[in-house]
A = this chain, B = another copy of it.
C-alpha cells in the first residue's frame, strides 16, 4: 500500500533575486538528494501569491513564507507547518496570526558558512583600513596606510547563533580573542569568555571589534545605541550582519564622521534598498555591502532545502521540528 503523500506548497516572489527562488528544478534536485522523503511529497509551486489561495485549501506544509497571513485557520484548514526560507523572521512578528495547531520554522543553519567568510573579510578590511585605502585609490593617491597585526585583538560578538558562531570561528582563525554575548550567556565553541546581555556595557570599552549578530526582537532593537557606541574606544570597528534596527546608524555615522571610530562594515541598512540620497553612502570609513554577507549566491536554495528535508524527515517520524520559531523569545 503506497503511503499517503503530504501536500507541500512552495511559494516564491518574482521580485526576489533568483538565488532565492525555490524553482521546480531545484526542488527536484533536492528530492533526488533526499529520495525517501521526496517520494512522500506532492508539491505545488506558486509565484507572487497568484495560486496561493487555492493551494492553501489542501496544503499541509507551506514553504517560502515572507509575510504575515490572516485568517489562516479558515483559509488553510489542513496547515501544520509553515517554513520561512530566511533566518530573521522579525517581520512575521507578532505571531498572533499563526493558527494554534501550526508550527513556524526558520532557515537557521543556512547562513553560517558564508557568514564566516564575510567575517574574515570584515575583520581584515577594518584592520587594514581598506575604506581609507579605497578612497585613496579612487582619488589616484598613493599613501601608505600601515596597520598592526590583528592577532590578539578582541572581537566582541553580540549574539551567538548561526551568524554569531560564524563570527567567532573567523575571529579565532585570525588569532583574535573572542568575547561572546548572548541571551543565555552560554559558551559556544571558540569564545574565550561568554556573558549575558547585561554585561554588554562593561565589555564594550575593551572591544577592538563589535560584531552585531543578534536576531531583531524587542530586546535587541537599538541595542547598540548612541550611549553604547560612546563606550567604544576610537580604535574600535563595528560590524553589523544582523538587522539595521539593532544599531543606531545616525550615531554610528556621526562617530565615524568625527573620527571617533576607526571604521564600520555593515551588510544591513534601513531601508533596503538604501536610497541614493542617504548620507550613509558617503560616511567616512563606512563600508556598506548590499545584504549579501550570509547567503550563498550559488547554492542558497540547495542548502536551505537540505536543511528543510532533514526537518521533514523528523516531521514524517512525528518528532518535534528543529528551528521552531518561539513566539515569546521572538526568533
How would residues 105 to 133 of chain A score, 1 for a CB under 8 Å from any chain B CB and 0 otherwise? 00000000110011011001101101001
The CA of A150 and the CA of B296, in the complex, are separated in Å by 10
Q: Return the contact of A117 from the options B117, B124, B272, B281 (Cβ within 8 A).
A: B124
The CA of A128 and the CA of B291, in the complex, are separated in Å by 12
A148 B298 Cβ-Cβ under 8 A:
yes
A128 B289 Cβ-Cβ under 8 A:
yes
A137 B17 Cβ-Cβ under 8 A:
no
B149 A290 Cβ-Cβ under 8 A:
no
Chain B residues, CB < 8 A from A133: 289-290, 292
A143 on the interface (CB 8 Å rule)?
A: yes
Given contacts A125-B125, A147-B297, A296-B148, contact A290 B120 (CB under 8 A): no
In the assembled complex, the CB of A169 is this many whole angstroms from the nearest CB of chain B, namely 10
Interface size on A, residues (CB 8 A): 51
The CA of A174 and the CA of B117, in the complex, are separated in Å by 7
Besides A17-B146, A113-B151, A148-B296, 15 other CB < 8 A contacts?
A: A114-B149, A117-B149, A117-B174, A120-B120, A121-B125, A134-B134, A140-B277, A140-B282, A141-B276, A144-B291, A144-B292, A147-B292, A148-B297, A148-B298, A149-B298
Complex A-B, nearest 8 residue pairs according to Cβ-Cβ distance, in ascending order:
A146-B297, A142-B273, A148-B298, A121-B124, A140-B276, A140-B281, A173-B173, A144-B290
* A residues with CB within 8 A of B: 17, 19, 113-114, 117-118, 120-121, 124-125, 127-128, 130, 133-134, 136-138, 140-151, 173-174, 272-274, 276-278, 281-282, 287-292, 295-299
